[in-house]
Amino acid sequence: MILGVGIDLVEVGRIRDSLERLGERFARRILCPAEYDYCFDHKDPSTHVAARFAAKEAVSKAFGTGIGTEIGWLDIEVVRLDNGSNQVQLHGPGALLFQRRSARIVHLNLTHTAQYASAVAILES
Protein backbone atom coordinates (compact mmCIF):
# COMPACT_ATOMS: atom_id res chain seq x y z
CA MET A 1 0.00 0.00 0.00
CA ILE A 2 1.29 3.48 -0.85
CA LEU A 3 1.59 5.65 2.24
CA GLY A 4 2.86 8.77 0.50
CA VAL A 5 4.32 10.25 -2.67
CA GLY A 6 6.73 13.15 -2.90
CA ILE A 7 8.22 15.01 -5.85
CA ASP A 8 10.64 17.90 -6.08
CA LEU A 9 12.28 19.95 -8.82
CA VAL A 10 15.40 22.03 -8.19
CA GLU A 11 17.19 24.54 -10.39
CA VAL A 12 20.83 23.44 -10.59
CA GLY A 13 21.90 27.09 -10.90
CA ARG A 14 20.37 27.87 -7.51
CA ILE A 15 22.38 25.07 -5.91
CA ARG A 16 25.53 26.16 -7.77
CA ASP A 17 25.05 29.71 -6.44
CA SER A 18 24.64 28.39 -2.88
CA LEU A 19 27.78 26.28 -3.22
CA GLU A 20 29.74 29.26 -4.53
CA ARG A 21 28.38 31.63 -1.89
CA LEU A 22 28.37 29.35 1.17
CA GLY A 23 30.83 26.64 0.10
CA GLU A 24 31.45 23.59 2.17
CA ARG A 25 29.23 24.87 5.00
CA PHE A 26 26.16 24.59 2.74
CA ALA A 27 27.14 21.19 1.34
CA ARG A 28 27.89 19.68 4.77
CA ARG A 29 24.57 20.98 6.11
CA ILE A 30 22.54 19.02 3.55
CA LEU A 31 24.78 16.07 2.55
CA CYS A 32 25.83 13.03 4.55
CA PRO A 33 29.58 12.31 4.36
CA ALA A 34 29.32 9.62 1.64
CA GLU A 35 27.00 11.86 -0.41
CA TYR A 36 29.48 14.72 -0.10
CA ASP A 37 32.32 12.48 -1.29
CA TYR A 38 30.25 11.21 -4.24
CA CYS A 39 29.13 14.68 -5.36
CA PHE A 40 32.52 16.35 -5.02
CA ASP A 41 34.23 13.51 -6.86
CA HIS A 42 32.67 15.00 -10.03
CA LYS A 43 34.04 17.90 -12.06
CA ASP A 44 30.82 19.86 -11.48
CA PRO A 45 29.23 18.69 -8.24
CA SER A 46 26.25 21.07 -8.60
CA THR A 47 24.00 18.70 -10.56
CA HIS A 48 24.66 15.85 -8.13
CA VAL A 49 24.11 18.03 -5.07
CA ALA A 50 20.89 19.35 -6.66
CA ALA A 51 19.66 15.80 -7.28
CA ARG A 52 20.25 14.88 -3.64
CA PHE A 53 18.62 18.10 -2.46
CA ALA A 54 15.55 17.21 -4.58
CA ALA A 55 15.61 13.62 -3.30
CA LYS A 56 15.60 14.69 0.34
CA GLU A 57 12.74 17.13 -0.30
CA ALA A 58 10.78 14.41 -2.16
CA VAL A 59 11.31 11.86 0.62
CA SER A 60 10.24 14.34 3.29
CA LYS A 61 7.13 15.14 1.26
CA ALA A 62 6.34 11.41 0.91
CA PHE A 63 6.38 11.28 4.72
CA GLY A 64 4.01 14.26 4.73
CA THR A 65 6.32 16.37 6.89
CA GLY A 66 8.69 18.31 4.68
CA ILE A 67 12.18 19.10 5.99
CA GLY A 68 11.76 20.52 9.47
CA THR A 69 11.16 19.37 13.00
CA GLU A 70 10.34 15.70 12.28
CA ILE A 71 13.01 14.93 9.68
CA GLY A 72 16.13 16.82 8.69
CA TRP A 73 18.60 16.94 5.81
CA LEU A 74 21.05 14.50 7.38
CA ASP A 75 18.32 12.04 8.39
CA ILE A 76 17.89 11.13 4.70
CA GLU A 77 20.79 9.68 2.72
CA VAL A 78 20.85 8.83 -0.97
CA VAL A 79 22.99 5.74 -1.50
CA ARG A 80 24.18 5.04 -5.04
CA LEU A 81 24.30 1.33 -5.81
CA ASP A 82 26.82 -0.39 -8.09
CA ASN A 83 24.20 -0.74 -10.84
CA GLY A 84 23.70 3.06 -10.90
CA SER A 85 20.34 3.09 -9.14
CA ASN A 86 19.77 4.91 -5.87
CA GLN A 87 18.17 3.91 -2.63
CA VAL A 88 17.25 5.77 0.53
CA GLN A 89 18.90 5.13 3.87
CA LEU A 90 17.25 6.81 6.85
CA HIS A 91 19.06 7.83 10.04
CA GLY A 92 17.95 8.92 13.50
CA PRO A 93 14.58 10.72 13.37
CA GLY A 94 14.12 9.59 9.76
CA ALA A 95 14.40 5.93 10.75
CA LEU A 96 12.00 6.50 13.67
CA LEU A 97 9.47 8.22 11.41
CA PHE A 98 9.76 5.28 8.97
CA GLN A 99 8.92 2.87 11.81
CA ARG A 100 6.05 5.02 13.12
CA ARG A 101 4.49 5.07 9.64
CA SER A 102 4.82 1.25 9.47
CA ALA A 103 6.66 1.67 6.18
CA ARG A 104 8.50 -1.14 4.42
CA ILE A 105 10.42 0.70 1.70
CA VAL A 106 11.08 4.11 0.17
CA HIS A 107 11.31 3.99 -3.62
CA LEU A 108 13.40 6.77 -5.15
CA ASN A 109 14.02 7.94 -8.70
CA LEU A 110 16.35 10.81 -9.61
CA THR A 111 17.02 12.62 -12.86
CA HIS A 112 18.95 15.72 -13.80
CA THR A 113 20.01 17.88 -16.70
CA ALA A 114 22.41 20.82 -16.72
CA GLN A 115 19.53 23.10 -15.62
CA TYR A 116 17.26 20.98 -13.40
CA ALA A 117 17.30 18.07 -10.97
CA SER A 118 14.18 16.17 -10.02
CA ALA A 119 13.26 13.36 -7.66
CA VAL A 120 10.21 11.23 -6.97
CA ALA A 121 9.83 9.24 -3.75
CA ILE A 122 7.16 6.70 -2.88
CA LEU A 123 6.70 5.52 0.69
CA GLU A 124 5.23 2.02 0.75
CA SER A 125 3.97 -0.23 3.54
Q: Write out the catalytic residue numbers.
A: 61, 112
Whether residue 121 contacts residue 6, with contact meaning beta carbons closer than 8 Å, is answered with yes
